[in-house]
Structures are given as structure tokens and as C-alpha cells.
Amino acid sequence: MVIESLFYFSLAVLQALEDGLKKADADPSVKAVMICGENGKFSAGADIRGFSAPQSHPGIGLAPIVSLIESSEKPVVAAIEGVALGGGLEVALGCHYRVAHVKARMGLPEVTIGLLPGAEGTQRLPRLIGVPAALDMITTGKHIPATEALKLGLVDEIAEENTIEAAIRLANKVIGQPLAPRRLSLKPVPTLPNMEAFLREALVKVKKQARGCLAPELCVQAVRAASERPFAEGLRRERELFRLLLSSGQARALQYAFFAERAVRRWATPAGASWSSANAQPVRSAAVIGLGTMGRGIVTSLVKANIPVVALEQDLENLKKGRKAVMLLLEREAMKMEGGAQRLDFHNPARLQFTVDFDLLRDVDLVIEAVFENMALKKEIFHKLSKICKPGALLCTNTSALNINEIASATSRPQQVIGTHFFSPAHVMRLLEIIYGSHTSPSAIATAMQLAKALNKIGVVVGNCFGFVGNRMMFPYVQQAVFLLEEGSRPEAVDEVLEDFGFKIGPFRMSDLAGLDVGWRSRQGQGLTGPSLPAGTPARQRHGQRYSPLPDLLCEHGRFGQKTGHGWYLYEKAGGRTATPDPWLHNFLARYRDTHGIKARAIDQEEILERCLFALINEGFAILAEGIASGPEHLDVIYINGYGWPRHRGGPMFYASTVGLPRVLAKLEQYSEVHPDVPGLRPNAFLRKLVAVGSPPLQEWMSYVSWQSPKL
Ligand SMILES: CCCCCCC/C=C/C(=O)SCCNC(=O)CCNC(=O)[C@H](O)C(C)(C)COP(=O)(O)OP(=O)(O)OC[C@H]1O[C@@H](n2cnc3c(N)ncnc32)[C@H](O)[C@@H]1OP(=O)(O)O
């Protein structure tokens, strides 16, 4: 008998499974059962959308079905094609045998949505493949290919071609064989000589990796229960831990992040262009200009995506340096992949070519300029490109803040110019901010989004303004951090609060890592510091607003961060990575306060957190109101994937919605009253409006934006 299921579990699917199994058990003519999916896909598990209403969720009813499958008196074989994920794999674990197609993938990704495998998966998987392998799958949520599943013993057979036929063959073969040895609930968990130490270390590891995130920790506890308790007791523990996670708030945030990352694919601009009508151009070849840190990563990313690349530098010396660095990155990437060097084929000049000759860019479909942030230089390059490149080529600029319209003005084809803001290291970081200018065509946006997908990145389309979305929101956050130092705090205190909140790295460690000179050069360019600053400008004021010269002063002392061995922290050597609090800096801060007549005060953790985060969020509301991004999900995806925002807090705008908009507003009002010369703390009008209309749910915010005059 064959029971077909659907891709996501619904109550109807569960009912069909239950009915089918009962019918098969009762029918003496049925000798074996095979469960498969429809259209070549086994199952992606429960419909995640339903987890916010647990009472009606089909996932809750899944565990009894898995038990029912296992207790069947007739052999049940799972035929796994496509994916078997979450509850889908748990169903397969209830079966007595598993056959997988060679291209199938399996996994228990519940941890990534803030849960644990709650349909008995934490108890059955360790019994089948042992604690170490089960823990790895359950705490990371990774998908494993069929070949690996076979090695682990997760599946019994691999089918090269027809999985259903292979499963039916196996089912026929095992008719009449005893089923007890195939029932995982009856098997003991394989022991380890050092189980206790192993589980303890696993807990330490997951706590370190996902600071403050509950799910990985509770996954370890559930697997511990499997190793220490009888099956039925282990199940009770699994259910208890599952319910804890379901009500923790983190699951909601992580599920929001899952859907937000998919929602940003449906981009739109205030002018009416959108994903639904724009057509992407094919990208069969690309060029990268500039082989500095960013250019190297971008070339590596393109090669990994199997796109032939021409890598261009301004002279032979820089070309040699760049080539060496790119090759090193590619060798490392190849080592991580099966058949890597061969698959990437980067020694083949038809796939990767290094040159100083602009003429070789004539035929490429896309160019990514990645020279340093200098408007004059970028314009010179774009002028050249518009003369050399073929008519349809997409011209991208990798910039973190510069005006796309101004760069496009240097070309005769501004409709094909677009910003692609990669994050460092560009071959690792998943975010790609895609910035359209006033003339960028919908097709250019669609092509850049298509490129993001090809590079396995998350593209987020945003409008053109200084710093775009990510850096624009970052400015007020970092500004507050520095003001807090002026007022009496220390870098390590501020970093600790934000790292405890869940950021991978606090603002001062981040600044030391990126290099303080980067911002210094930018401020010099803006005339905020340096020789172009008019004589008589007050030290702590610019354009009538509060300004802190602290970062500039550190640069004047040669303190650029890790690269010079000191910045906001002290490092063991230039290029060192171990930050220690620096007594020199503490004295420097004390002298600075004396010079400016600032009385240091004790600043508590709440103030540090609120001033930094609420200033960032406040800027987010301004961005939404101006139409720079088409929804709060866009801002959240940018922050989670580009700025180390803790995923289990769902992104800054989601976080604001959980704190409550009235509270965010009240706090900003309170801080703004104390610091009237800091515009970043003045509550944005859009935030006020949302509070005035009763703080609607985040999904409804954009319906309160008036689009009459988007600043684009
Ligand atoms: C006492 C307690 C008992 C508790 C029992 C609990 C039982 C079971 C729990 C679970 O099963 S939890 C769910 C586990 N499964 C997942 O987490 C799978 C998540 N999905 C994916 O990894 C991928 O989507 C995919 C299935 C590998 C497909 O990837 P692909 O890149 O091909 O497509 P996507 O763009 O990611 O998705 C397409 C489309 O489908 C939506 N979607 C995907 N998975 C789900 C899901 N599980 N529930 C609802 N919707 C899902 C996704 O949002 C996309 O939608 P659109 O953006 O196109 O609208």
C-alpha cells in the first residue's frame, strides 16, 4: 500500500496518514506500506506559519502519528525524494526502513526557527545514528545529503533513479521479517565512554556559538534526556522543552526572520517597479575592478558561483598582490568543498583572468567596481566603463555610502548603474545591499537580485541615501556609544552590554576590527574634521549639533585599531586580535573630560542599551517614512545578515515591536530632553504616528506611510 503525503503537514495530511495506516493494518491483503511525498518531494515538515497558534497546529498532532507508524505490524518504508526536513524526517524515523534518492537532503532544522524536533526526533535520531552525529544535526539544523545519510546509517539504501520502485522492492523483500529490531523506540542509545563530558562540552559549545539563543541549548538537553532516560521519559522531557521554546518569544523572532528573508525577494520601489514585472538579464560573465579586500572577496564569490571573471587592477604591482590574495582565498574555499579545486577551476584563464587592460571588459555582462571610497576615482572609472562596455552591461559600484546618482552621472547610461554593497569578507557574508538610483531601470534591479541569488547571498533592494540602510542606521548607534564614553562609560562596558544583548561584537571592538581610519577619512571628506575644518569650530559641535571628536583624536594618536595594535583597546601586537582594556585610553578619557568640563557619571546597562538601540531604531523609522526601504523586514534582514544583530531577536524593527512602540517613543523622548543637541535621539515623526494610531502590528506599519514625496 502506498500513502502519499503533501509537502507541508496540514491537519488533512496527518488525518490521511492516520487513516491510511489504520486501513493498511486492518487489511490482511496489505503486506507492507510505503510512504512517499508528491511531485518528487517527501516533506519539508510542519507549516511554520501555524506555530503562532499552537493549539490548532498540525505539528502538535504529529508525534502520535509517528508512534502509530512505528508500531505498525507491517513493514513501513519511507521513500525520500527531494527533502525530508523537520517533521518530515521525524515521520521517516518512525518508519522501519528508509530509502533515499541520491539527490535527497535530510535535516532537523527546527533549531533555526527557535524550536527542537518535537515529534520524537530528539529521542529516535540518537538511537539510530548515535549521540555525536545526532547532536550535530539537531543543534545546527544542517541539511545533509543522501550519501552522508547513508554513511551515518540514517538511511538504509540509496536509489540512483526511481526511489519509489526501490522502496517498494525493499518493502517486498522485508515482508515477514521481525520488526522489533527496526523500531527505534526499542533500541538503546549507543553509549560513549565519555558521554557526560561529551554532553557538557557540547553545551558549552552551543552556548558560545549562539549567545543568548535558547533553542540550541535545549536541543542538547533533549538529547541528554535520550541518553539518560528510557524512551517514554525522554519523550516527556522533549515535549516539556518544546513547549518552553514555543512560549519563549525567540521562536517567534526566528520564524519572523525566516519569512522576512524570503519576503525581501519581493522587492518594490516607490516609483512602481517591482519583482513581479521586472525581467533579469542573464549574467554569463563578470569583471571586478580593484583587488583590495572587497574586490578579492567579490572575485572569490563569483568564481564560487561558477561565473567567469575578469579581475582588473590599476598596475602590475597591485595586480600581482591581488592575484596572490585571490588565489589563496580560492585555495581555502576549494579545500572546504568536495572536489573543490576541480569544481572551481580557477586556474583556467577562461574562468578567471587577471589583467590591467580595461579593454578586456568589453564583452562582460556585468562589472563590479570595488575601488576605495573616493567619488572622483569612481566617477572616472564609470566614465571609462560607459565608453568601453557593451550596451547591455550592468555597471555596479561596491560602495557603503556614496551617492549612486552622482556615480551614474559620469556615464551615458545611468539606467544600468546600480549600487551593490557587499559586506566584508565578501565571499562569506550573506548580505548584499542593492541600491537603485533615480535612473536605475527595473531590469537592472532584477539582474542585481538575480546575481545575489547566484552568489548565494540575500539581496535587499534599498533606495539611495547617505549610508543607504545599514550604515545609515549604524551612525546614530555608534554615535551614542561614543557619547556614552564622553559622559563616563568605557569601551569595554558598552561592548559588554551590547554583546550580552546578543551582538556578535560590540561597537568598539567592531570599530577596532574595521579600522578607525576608515571613518576618519570619511569625516575628513565631509569636512567634519581635519584641515578643512573652519578655524574656531567648537571642538564638540558641528552644524549646531553635538559632535564627539574622540575617534578623530585616537586617529591623530595613530590608534587605528587592530592593525596598529591599539585603538579603543590594546592588542598584543599590530594585527593582533585579543582586545584588552587599555589604561592609556582610560587616562585619555579622564583628561578629555577634564579639558571639556564634563563630570563623569555612572551609566547603567539599561541606558547604554536603550540609547544605542533606540537611536538605531529611530533612524529605521525615518528610513521607512522616506521610502528608502519598502518594509521593516528589509531593515531587519539587513541587520541580521550584515551587522551581527542577534537573529533570535528578529532584527531591530521586530525588536522595537516586541519592546512596544510606546515604550521606545517614551524613552527616546526622555533621552532627547536630556540631550537636545542630538538629533538621533529626537523621536521620528513616523514612530510618533504609529504610536498615535495605536501601535499596529509590524506587518501593517507601511500602510501608515504617506508616499506623496519619497526622498529618492
Ligand atoms: C508536542 C509538540 C509536537 C511538535 C511537533 C513538531 C513537528 C514538526 C515541526 C517541523 O516540521 S518545523 C518545520 C521544519 N522545516 C523547516 O524548517 C523547513 C524550512 N524550509 C526550508 O528549509 C526551505 O524552504 C526548503 C523546504 C528547503 C525549500 O527551499 P527553497 O529555497 O526551494 O524554497 P524557499 O524559498 O525557502 O521556500 C519556498 C516557499 O515555501 C515557504 N516555506 C518553506 N518551508 C516552509 C514551512 N516549513 N512552512 C511554511 N512555509 C514554508 C517559504 O516561505 C517560501 O514561501 P514564499 O516566500 O514563496 O511565499
Question: For residues 141 and 109, is the Cβ–Cβ distance under 8 A?
Answer: yes
Both 321 and 413 in one domain: the answer is: yes
628 in any annotated domain: no
Alpha carbon of 255 to ligand 1 centroid (Å) = 10
274 in any annotated domain: no
Name the closest-CA residue to atom 54, ligand 1.
262
Residue 59 reports pLDDT greater than 70: no
8 lines ligand 1 (CB under 6 A): yes
Both 294 and 434 in one domain: the answer is: yes
Which of left, alpha, beta for 345 (phi over 0: left; psi -120 to 50: alpha)? Answer: left
Q: What is the mean pLDDT of residues 217-222?
A: 98
What CA–CA distance (Å, rounded) separates 432 from 434?
6
Both 446 and 399 in one domain: the answer is: yes
Domain boundary among 427, 443, 462: 462
Mean pLDDT, the chain, as a whole number? Answer: 95
Q: Lowest mean pLDDT of 10-19, 145-154, 160-169, 306-315, name the range.
A: 10-19
Please state the atom number of ligand 1 nearest to the C-alpha of residue 88. Answer: 11
Per-residue pLDDT band at 710 (split at 50, 70, 90): very low
The three-class DSSP label of residue 33 is strand
Residue 168 reports pLDDT greater than 70: yes
CB-count exposure of residue 496 (10 Å: 0-12, 13-18, 19+): middle
Whole-number pLDDT of residue 640: 98
Which stretches of 488-597 are DSSP H helices?
491-501, 507-514, 516-525, 550-556, 583-595
Whole-number pLDDT of residue 51: 79
Q: What is the mean pLDDT of residues 454-480?
A: 97
Q: What are phi and psi of 28, to 5 degrees?
A: -65, -20
524 in any annotated domain: yes
45 lines ligand 1 (CB under 6 A): yes
The residue to which cell 552525529 is assigned: 133
47 lines ligand 1 (CB under 6 A): yes
CA 569 to chain CA centroid, nearest Å: 28
409-412-415-418 Cα dihedral, nearest 10 degrees:
-50
Both 347 and 200 in one domain: the answer is: no
Residue 109 reports pLDDT greater than 50: yes
The CATH number covering residue 14 comes to 3.90.226.10
Q: Peptide bond before 58: cis, by omega within 30 degrees of 0? A: no
Both 68 and 206 in one domain: the answer is: yes
For ligand 1, pick from 17, 42, 48 the residue to mutate: most ligand atoms within 8 Å of CB.
Answer: 48
What CA–CA distance (Å, rounded) separates 631 from 267?
10
By 3-state DSSP, what share of the chain in percent is helix, strand and coil, each rounded to 5?
A: 55, 10, 35
501 lines ligand 1 (CB under 6 A): no
The CATH number covering residue 432 comes to 3.40.50.720
Q: What is the mean pLDDT of residues 651-657?
A: 98
Whole-number pLDDT of residue 446: 98
Angle at 612 between CA 512 and CA 591, to 5 degrees: 60
Which of left, alpha, beta for 558 (phi over 0: left; psi -120 to 50: alpha)? Answer: left
Both 425 and 521 in one domain: the answer is: no
pTM metric for this prediction: 0.94
Alpha carbon of 105 to ligand 1 centroid (Å) = 14
Question: For residues 663 and 692, is the Cβ–Cβ distance under 8 A?
Answer: no
263 in any annotated domain: no
Please state the atom number of ligand 1 nearest to the C-alpha of residue 141. Answer: 17
638 in any annotated domain: no
**465: enclosing H helix or E strand:** none
> pLDDT higher for 176 or 60?
176
Residue 272 reports pLDDT greater than 50: yes
Q: Could you list the beta-strand ranges (E) of 220-308.
A: 286-289
Alpha carbon of 690 to ligand 1 centroid (Å) = 31
DSSP tag of 703: G
**432: enclosing H helix or E strand:** strand 431-436
213 in any annotated domain: yes
The three-class DSSP label of residue 264 is coil
The CATH number covering residue 506 comes to 1.10.1040.10
What CA–CA distance (Å, rounded) separates 436 from 405?
9
360 in any annotated domain: yes
Both 235 and 294 in one domain: the answer is: no
Q: What is the mean pLDDT of residues 522-535?
A: 90
**AA letter at 667:** K
Q: What is the mean pLDDT of residues 423-441?
A: 97
Both 72 and 108 in one domain: the answer is: yes
Alpha carbon of 117 to ligand 1 centroid (Å) = 14
Name the closest-CA residue to atom 35, ligand 1.
262
Whole-number pLDDT of residue 284: 97
**430 grid coordinates:** 550573506
ipTM value, please give it: 0.96
Please state the atom number of ligand 1 nearest to the C-alpha of residue 112. Answer: 17
Active site residues: 90, 110
Name the closest-CA residue to atom 23, ligand 1.
44
Alpha carbon of 583 to ligand 1 centroid (Å) = 51
Both 62 and 123 in one domain: the answer is: yes
**pLDDT tens profile 386-409:** 999 999 999 999 999 899 999 999
Alpha carbon of 269 to ligand 1 centroid (Å) = 27
Spatial CA neighbour of 449 closest among 424, 420, 472:
420
Strand bridging mode 366-369 / 458-462: unpaired
CB-count exposure of residue 700 (10 Å: 0-12, 13-18, 19+): exposed
Alpha carbon of 44 to ligand 1 centroid (Å) = 6
What CA–CA distance (Å, rounded) separates 187 from 128?
8
CA 124 to chain CA centroid, nearest Å: 30
Please state the atom number of ligand 1 nearest to the C-alpha of residue 108. Answer: 14
Domain boundary among 188, 222, 248: 248
What residues have CB less than 8 Å from 105, skipping those under 6 apart?
A: 82, 83, 84, 85, 143, 144, 145, 146
Q: Lowest mean pLDDT of 46-55, 241-250, 342-351, 385-394, name the range.
A: 46-55
Both 507 and 544 in one domain: the answer is: yes
Whole-number pLDDT of residue 28: 95
Both 98 and 139 in one domain: the answer is: yes
**AA letter at 131:** V
What CA–CA distance (Å, rounded) separates 6 from 19?
15
What CA–CA distance (Å, rounded) separates 446 from 288?
20
Per-residue pLDDT band at 338 (split at 50, 70, 90): confident
Burial 456-487 (b: 16+ CB within 10 A, else e): ebbbbbbbbbebbbbbbbbbbbbbbbbbbbbb
Whole-number pLDDT of residue 53: 63
**AA letter at 542:** R
110 lines ligand 1 (CB under 6 A): yes
636 in any annotated domain: no
Spatial CA neighbour of 668 closest among 655, 650, 656, 658:
656
Domain boundary among 535, 567, 595: 595
Residues of the domain holding 500: 489-595
**pLDDT tens profile 139-166:** 999 999 999 999 999 999 999 999 999 9
Both 439 and 580 in one domain: the answer is: no
Please state the atom number of ligand 1 nearest to the C-alpha of residue 239. Answer: 1
239 lines ligand 1 (CB under 6 A): yes
Q: For the chain, how many structural domains are there in total?
A: 3
Q: What is the mean pLDDT of residues 91-101?
A: 98
